[in-house]
Amino acid sequence: MVYSRKEKDYIVCLLCRHYCKLKEGQVGICGINKNENGEHKNLVYGHPVAIHVDPVEKKPLYHFLPGTRVLSFGTIGCNFKCPFCQNWDISQEKEINKNIEVTPEQMVSLAFEQNAQSIAYTYNEPTTFYPYAKDVGVIAKARGLKNIFVSNGYESPEIIEDMASWVDAANIDLKSWDDEYYKKSLKGGLEEVKDTLRRMVAKGIWVEVTTLLIEGENDSDKDLHEMASFIANDLGKHVPWHLSAFYPQYKMLDHERTKLETLQRAETIGKEAGLKYIYLGNVPVKSDTYCSNCNELVIDRTAYMVDSNKLKNGHCPKCDQAIEGVWR
């Protein structure tokens, strides 16, 4: 995979849709991809700053190997500037700690040591460290592990094409239905994220969508209706929608946290659009999975833990309806 193309006196970084034009010595918007001697260099390659073992439900992925462990890691750097970022201390950091070195082979070995069945590229935007992520992921895939991207959805079409060969699942943020908000506040773009979602689904990557609801910012009935309609009609009624409550973070410490009633209102709108699987996050409610045909409880969850999984080869034990997802 080529991560840049050469133009006259600069290179164009192909990792995300910013397509940063980098002159000699220049670093992109993400802060971690550089033109060094006319070549693309990923400055955080081999230098993770966060490594944890999580339940896969925490990504969040509820229809992908439920109840299993995932090795999650991230670096510094991001191509967005979200004022509510919960990991702003690493995503907006510019100084790389080169004292931490983990090779792709070591990362995969660590996953096996921790009895993980998958590796998640997360915490900051993984597209920005794609060269490192892919080298880890290709080894992981060859050894029987799954690969998960937790992303803002600003991957370039070139990268999505390449991802299809090794990424199994993705949780993509649909942060707003207002393109101006995306551009001005987040430094991204709604149409680009919608295109990413369509492309990933078309490529066979298992996709789940997350919307962090912030009252007064992205929770109008109109916007929620259009988001739900987009997921149902463009991606599929089977695509899980995670509605997550905002808690004051980073540059939005003076903003109130999201009420449960706001999430429930969005859930109702999603159901009206025909979405089969809607889950509420960051609030003390159950996140169970029910059969979309007979309403049988098939996966019982408490917080991010699976209490019981009644699926039989991915099917409802009562009516034998296939439940969409990746179950093994």
First-to-final CA distance of the chain: 29
Mean pLDDT taken over the chain: 97
- Report if pTM > 0.75: yes
* Separation CA 165–CA 223 (nearest Å): 34
Would you say 316 and 294 are in contact if contact means Cβ atoms under 8 Å apart? yes
Q: 240 and 270 in contact (C-beta within 8 Å)?
A: no
Residue 230 pLDDT exceeds 90:
yes
pLDDT tens digits for range 161-199:
999 999 999 999 999 999 999 999 999 999 999 999 999
**What's the pLDDT tens digit per position in 123-144?**
999 999 999 999 999 999 999 9
Provide the pLDDT confidence category of residue 281 given band limits of 50, 70 and 90. very high
**% of the chain residues with pLDDT over 90:** 99
Tokens (6 digits) for 326: 């990746």
Instruction: Round to whole Å and give the CA distance between 304 and 286.
Output: 9
Give all domains of the chain, ordered by start, each with its CATH number: 42-285 (3.20.20.70)
CA–centroid distance for 287 within its chain: 19
Residue 1 has pLDDT above 90, yes or no: no
The tens digit of pLDDT for each residue in 33-54 reads 999 999 999 999 999 999 999 9
pLDDT for 107 beyond 90 = yes
Tens digits of residue pLDDT in 65-86? 999 999 999 999 999 999 999 9
CB 156 within 8 A of CB 16: yes
